[in-house]
Amino acid sequence: MSTTEVQHDDGADGALPEEHFKPTGTIFVLVLFVATIILLWASVYVILLSRGVTL
């Protein structure tokens, strides 16, 4: 990651300090997570369907 992705505001001129950080890796991990959710949830759904209906 380039250092430009973390921007510092050190609180000059009376402003409270804050930093800005782009969590690109986090977004990637969460995309993988959501895809895993869909995959595993759907696999159980297929089992449900395979068992057929009860009347």
Residues in touch with another protein (CB under 8 A): 1, 5-6, 11, 13-21, 23-26, 28-30, 33, 36-37, 40-41, 44-45, 47-48, 51
Residues present in the chain in total: 55
Cα R_g (the chain), whole angstroms: 23
Query: Of 41 and 55, which has the nearer Cβ to another protein?
Result: 41
Q: How far is the CB of 55 from another protein (least distance, A)?
A: 14
Residue whose token pair is 């969590």: 23
Tell me which residue of 18, 21, 17 sits closest to 2, measured CA to CA.
Answer: 21
